[in-house]
Structures are given as structure tokens and as C-alpha cells.
Amino acid sequence: MNKELSPATLLHVVCDYKAGGMEFGEITNRLQYHLSEPHSVRIHPTEVPPLDTMAIGFVTAQYAYAPHRGKMVIYGNAAPRRDSAKAKKSNIDHGIKYARLKNGVEIINVWSEYAFGFVKKDIVELRDIDCPDKGSQFRSRDFFPDRVAQIVNGDHSNLKKQLDINEIPEIPHNLVAWTDGFGNIKTTMRKSDLDQMEFAVGQSVQVICNGVSMLGVIATGGFTVDRGVLAVNAGSSGYDDPFVELFLRVHQMSEKTAAVRFDYPAGGTEVEIKKV
């Protein structure tokens, strides 16, 4: 009789390094080294823009709420490094924190402004992690993988004091969250926000973002408008209450996508949608 195999643990590694680059390779190597059963853990790397903590939080939530079998752990690392312009002794910087959600997903993210905001409402445990926060310029390789692997292994002995979930900043509903590979700009605005503002499908709007103003139309999807028209619609992220995205329909990637037209807005850039 064949013994039923347990599903592999899924470990999402979300960092602001090049997905196929040496940094991701070194981090994966260290994770494999510290995992007690590396053959039973599937590591999936996701690249986010450099220093983009908004993207870390957005991707964390999109993965955390996805249907899954077995154990899922998410490790995210991107720190904005905007808190001080002065030199830091021994490369000291942001540490990592631990969160467990209602659905059992465990998250280890660098403590930065948006890293936990998208999952805040479902956190049932938020803790500090005993981990060096100085002594290496590459803590993502030298220190963090050991602690992440311990948690994947089921060892929570390095979890320290409880943290106040209320200290996690709320996510404003008027910011750029993520730009996908097709140049569509996903925002922190929800479909329910459009409904509350009483926008109707087919209504013309003015979209202002990153110093650029463009006319668009409220749509049910990016492909429901003509080529070259900016659609403002509930996108593919956000599950029950999808995030609104700016979708400029093009037929070839050589055409100007929404990202190009709005001059590649960084995560956290304000977005305004006005009736015309």
C-alpha cells in the first residue's frame, strides 16, 4: 500500500534582490543549510523593487491569503532605510518580526512601515525575534535565514516579547502598491472604495499619479475597454474585495503601458481619482 505523502512546506522568500541573482542564490543556500528537512520545503523566490516595503507588504498578503495545502511560511525583506541619513555603527538596521495569522500562515518580515499592514486584521500573534541586527552588511544571508529556518523547522524558541498589533500602521487607500510585469499599476484602493465614492461603470474619471494626469474610465476589467484606453477597475489581487488597478490596454509591450504613462511610480506614491 502506498503511503500518502504529506504536502511540502511552501516557503515564499520575498526580497528586493534580483530573483535569479547571486544574492537570492546565497540566501537560498543558507536556508537549505539550516533547514532540518530541506527536501520537504519548496522555496519560491519573489523579487520586489529595491527598498520597496509597500511591495513587501502587498505580496506578503497576496500569498498569505491564497488557498494552500500544508504549511506556508513567508519571509520578506526590504527596508526603506529612510529613518536616518547618518552612518550606523556596525551596519545596525531594521530587525525581523514574526506574525501568525488566523489561517495558520507564519510571516517573518523586516520591521518596516508597510510590511505587515495588509495582513494586520488577521494577525493573532505578533512577536519580536531574537536575531542580531548589526555586525553584517548582508544580514539577509548571515543572520536571517537561520531564524527563518528554525521557524520552518517548528522551533519557536527565538520568539521573544509580544508586540502590540496596533503599532502596525494602517495602509492608506490611495497609494501605489505594486506594478505587475505587464505595466498595470495595482493600488491600495479597494473595489468597495469605488462603490462608496459612487463611481459607475463607464464613467469618465481623471487619474493623477506621480505628477501625471490622465483621463480614464471606470470599467469591470482591463479588457472591457478599447486599446489605448486607461481602465480603472477591480483587478486580480485582493480576493473578496479586490484592489483597484490602472490598466492601460496595449497589444504589444513596446506600447506605453500604465506604468510608462505614469512614469513608473514607486510603491507608496499617491493616487487620486476624480470625477470629470
Neighbouring-strand partners of residue 47: 15
Check residue 89 and give its pLDDT.
Answer: 44
Q: Is the pLDDT of residue 210 over 80?
A: yes
Look-up: residue for cell 500569498? 63
Check residue 113 and give its pLDDT.
Answer: 86
The C-alpha cell at 4 is 500518502
pTM of the model: 0.90
Check residue 6 and give its pLDDT.
Answer: 79
Kindly provide the b/e burial profile for residues 110-146, where b requires at least 16 CB atoms within 10 angstroms of the residue's own CB. Answer: bbbbbbbbbbbeebeebbbbebebeeeeebbbebbbe
- Average pLDDT of 19-35? 92
- Among 108-112, 126-130, 137-141, 230-234, the range scoring the smallest mean pLDDT is 137-141
Q: Is the pLDDT of residue 85 over 80?
A: no
Residue 16: pLDDT band with limits 50, 70, 90: very high
- Among 69-73, 130-134, 232-236, 242-246, the range scoring the smallest mean pLDDT is 130-134
